């Protein structure tokens, strides 16, 4: 397993924290921060999005490591490994309740530390894959029971109308129903193709290379601007850092985000789509695609990246409901994350993190 992962150390003893940092560097890991308090740990986890947090249970301040770990785990889903020399039974039970990925008893050597981190990463990847599989199963069940059945019901009803038109020798009416039947069949086929495409993405082996971010984005925008629908859309692109990844997959993911931004802002008075970035250091950048379109209710954001679960505000816009699921899948394959902020009537901003350091793969 590749060791190029970012580790956050939360330890209030400076000498011990430095010793852990040296051990991690010797093992090939990247240390993205050292914090001594719960507040500092939470803020650093928010900024750096580490792959693992090494959390001392007893730390400075009025909040201990268990409370910090609980907030980091619930907000960011980051694997936590507790470091402890001694703790009372009540504290240990509190620690167990948040579902940590491991414990290391002080003092420990490099071998203990490396084993704990590798086990935590493997467990985290497995749990994320399991969660993703369950979400796909739910989406598939919903699609089969709702999205695929609907065009079939329409086709069945149209066939009856077609039979009636034929029996009545109403040629024009019959032709109209034949056309509608073809449209419904195409709709069902598109849904099936979307399902198959989504299932195949995770099986693709990544072809990693350095990708010119600005060049990739300009290619996408040029394609979108070739449609007359978006002739009046203003596309703004900041200077972007290049990243490492599978160019074809990243083009699809970023293309889906920019496509959506253009589509959902197309009815605005002055439609604008902006692509920018925030460099957070430690080999990872946060890029964003922002629009001034219809927006959506953040209270419904939990289903935003679920396949075939379209938001209420997307009615009246074409789409299969699988685009953002594909984005999430591709970004996760690149060890990144994707999330969004929005407000109805004020547009949306989609963020995604991608490595800009080849060694992090």
More confident residue, 85 or 41: 41
Question: Hey, what are 361's tokens?
Answer: 């793969």
Calculate what percentage of the chain has a pLDDT beyond 90. 37
Burial classification of residue 198, based on how many CB atoms lie within 10 Å of its CB (0-12 exposed, 13-18 middle, 19 or more buried): buried
Whether the bond into 107 is cis, omega within 30 of 0: yes
Residue 109 CA to residue 316 CA, distance in Å, equals 60
Confidence of residue 315 (pLDDT cuts 50, 70, 90): low
CATH superfamily of this structure's domain 6-127:
Response regulator (3.40.50.2300)
Most confidently modeled range among 28-32, 172-176, 311-315: 28-32
pTM over the 0.75 mark:
no
Closest CA to 332 of 198, 237, 179, 215: 198
Mean pLDDT of 154-158: 68
Asked which of 26-40, 65-79, 170-184, 214-228 is least confident by mean pLDDT, the reply is 170-184
In CATH, the number for domain 208-360 is 3.30.565.10
The pLDDT assigned to 195 comes to 63
Asked which of 86-90, 175-179, 223-227, 234-238 is least confident by mean pLDDT, the reply is 86-90
State the chain's mean pLDDT as an integer.
82
Helix (H) or strand (E) holding 193: helix 171-201
**pLDDT tens, position by position, 232-290:** 899 999 999 998 899 989 999 999 999 999 999 988 889 999 999 986 555 568 999 99
The pLDDT assigned to 24 comes to 94
Question: Hey, what are 162's tokens?
Answer: 């077609």
DSSP per position, 281-312: STTEEEEEEEE-S----GGGGGGTTSTT---G
Residue 4 CA to residue 358 CA, distance in Å, equals 9
The pLDDT assigned to 338 comes to 92
The pLDDT assigned to 20 comes to 95
Residue 183 CA to residue 187 CA, distance in Å, equals 6
- CATH 3.30.565.10 residue ranges for the chain: 208-360
Question: Hey, what are 155's tokens?
Answer: 């086709």
Confidence of residue 41 (pLDDT cuts 50, 70, 90): very high
Residue 159 CA to residue 20 CA, distance in Å, equals 71
Residue 154 CA to residue 147 CA, distance in Å, equals 11
Mean pLDDT of 213-231: 91
The CA-CA-CA angle for residues 49, 51, 335, to 5°, reads 85
CB 142 within 8 A of CB 309: yes
**pLDDT tens, position by position, 161-217:** 777 767 776 777 777 767 777 766 766 666 666 666 666 676 677 888 999 999 999
The pLDDT assigned to 8 comes to 96
Q: Give me the long-range contacts of 72-77 (CB less than 8 A, separation at least 24).
A: 72/41, 72/42, 72/45, 73/98, 73/99, 75/42, 75/45, 75/46, 76/45, 76/46, 76/49
Whether 127 shows a pLDDT value over 80: the answer reads yes
- CATH 3.40.50.2300 residue ranges for the chain: 6-127
The pLDDT assigned to 1 comes to 43
């Amino acid at each position: 397993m590749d060791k190029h992962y970012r580790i956050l150390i939360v330890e209030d003893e400076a000498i011990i924290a430095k010793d852990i940092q040296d051990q991690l560097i010797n093992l090939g890991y990247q240390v993205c921060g050292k914090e001594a308090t719960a507040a500092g740990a939470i803020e650093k986890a928010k900024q750096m999005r580490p792959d693992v947090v090494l959390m001392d249970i007893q730390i400075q301040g009025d909040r201990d490591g268990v409370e910090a770990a609980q907030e980091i785990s619930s907000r960011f889903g980051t694997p936590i490994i507790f470091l402890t020399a001694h703790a009372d039974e009540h504290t240990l039970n509190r620690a167990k309740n948040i579902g940590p990925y491991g414990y290391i008893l002080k003092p420990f050597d490099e071998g203990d530390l490396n084993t704990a981190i590798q086990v935590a990463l493997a467990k985290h990847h497995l749990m994320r894959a399991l969660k993703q599989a369950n979400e796909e199963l739910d989406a598939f069940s919903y699609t089969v029971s709702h999205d695929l059945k609907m065009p079939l019901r329409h086709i069945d009803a149209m066939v009856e109308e077609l039979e009636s038109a034929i029996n009545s020798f109403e040629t024009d009416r019959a032709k109209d129903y034949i056309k509608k039947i073809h449209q419904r069949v195409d709709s069902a086929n598109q849904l099936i193709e979307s399902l198959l495409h989504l299932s195949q993405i995770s099986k693709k082996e990544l072809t990693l290379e350095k990708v010119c971010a600005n060049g990739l984005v300009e290619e996408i925008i040029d394609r979108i601007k070739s449609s007359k629908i978006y002739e009046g859309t203003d596309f703004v692109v900041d200077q972007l850092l290049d990243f490492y990844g599978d160019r074809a997959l990243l083009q699809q993911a970023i293309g889906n985000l920019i496509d959506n931004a253009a589509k959902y802002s197309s009815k605005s008075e002055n439609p604008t789509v902006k692509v920018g970035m925030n460099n957070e250091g430690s080999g990872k950048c946060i890029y964003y695609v922002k629009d001034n379109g219809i927006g959506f209710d953040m209270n419904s954001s939990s289903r935003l990246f679920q396949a075939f679960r379209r938001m209420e505000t997307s009615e009246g816009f074409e789409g299969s409901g699988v685009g953002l699921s594909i984005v999430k899948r591709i970004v996760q394959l690149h060890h990144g994350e994707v999330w969004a902020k929005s407000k109805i009537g004020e547009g949306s901003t989609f963020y995604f993190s991608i490595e800009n350091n080849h060694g992090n793969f």
